[in-house]
Amino acid sequence: MPFSDYKTALVTGASTGMGAAIVERFCREGLEVHALARNAERLKELAERTGCIPHAIDVCDLAAVTRLTEQVPFDIVVNNAGVSRKGSILDASVEDVDVQVEVNLQAVLHIVRLTMPGMVARDRGHIVNISSIAAIYNFGGNSIYHATKAGIHALSRQLRVDATGKRVRVTEICPGRVATDIFGHVHGDIEAARKQFIDGFELPLPSDIADAIAFAIAAPLAVNISNMEILPTLQVPGGLTTIKRD
């Protein structure tokens, strides 16, 4: 179904990084794009640059999100907002668990609950869930993040079952390392994290992720691109560790 068959889009986590790039890409396609994020100043700048409609809303503010979804029948929903905390479950705090479950999984469930029934009723719609290679592969640390993104992976597949017989498509995007500031937010020092995780690496840009999403949405009606793993060419996930104890 080409972009011309859709009119409205909702993008969460829209103020920076992949979210902002997705907003920009959708606006170029002529959609009415509603950009949702907490940072009002960055949303204002994004709106001035792209023409999107900004909503300075916390994705976990269920009352505000509910009001928005009641006002606008969204044809496309991109669940992009997410948080991560470093460390394994062995040293996780109560807040580490609660905030990641609330933002990464619970908020997505509510947004889908609020928007997908309308898509099914109209026999038209596309849900894009941004998960992570952490949903599929295991690597050290970030245990809670892995668990929440695995939940999004399972949800994305289940949604297609829930919409059986309707032209409602679901795409899961599983990015590897992308050149964004997420590592700085995790580690608390954006500049130091950029030097450690971004500078000197050949990485996909946020615009590359936005283009991949646009490709999935622009596919013919009979085509549902259900899952994309998007990694740097020089990044390989997986591995095997065997510990020998004396």
Task: Identify the CATH number of the domain in which residue 109 sits.
Answer: 3.40.50.720
Contact of 206 with 20, CB cutoff 8 Å? yes
With respect to residue 231, please indicate whether it lies within any of the assigned structural domains: no
User: For the residues 1-24, what does the mean pLDDT come to?
Assistant: 93
**Cβ atoms 59, 19 nearer than 8 A:** no
Kindly provide the residue ranges of all beta strands, DSSP E only, lying in 21-61, ordered along the sequence. Answer: 32-37, 53-56
Identify the domain containing residue 204 by its residue range.
3-226
The predicted structure's pLDDT at residue 160: 97
Percent of the chain with pLDDT over 90: 80
pLDDT given at position 134: 94
Instruction: Write out pLDDT tens, residues 188-241.
Output: 667 876 787 788 889 999 999 999 999 999 999 999 999 999 999 999 888 778
Q: How far is CA 100 from the centre of its chain?
A: 13
Q: Which run of H or of E encompasses 17?
A: helix 17-28
The model's pTM: 0.93
Residue 238 maps to a domain? no
* 137 is known as an active-site residue: no
Domain count, the chain: 1
pLDDT per position as a tens digit, 41-94: 999 999 999 999 999 999 999 999 999 999 999 999 999 999 999 889 999 999
222 within a domain of the structure (yes/no): yes
Q: Is residue 246 part of a domain?
A: no
Catalytic one among 6, 26, 145, 197?
145
- Up-side HSE of residue 204: CA atoms within 13 Å toward CB? 21
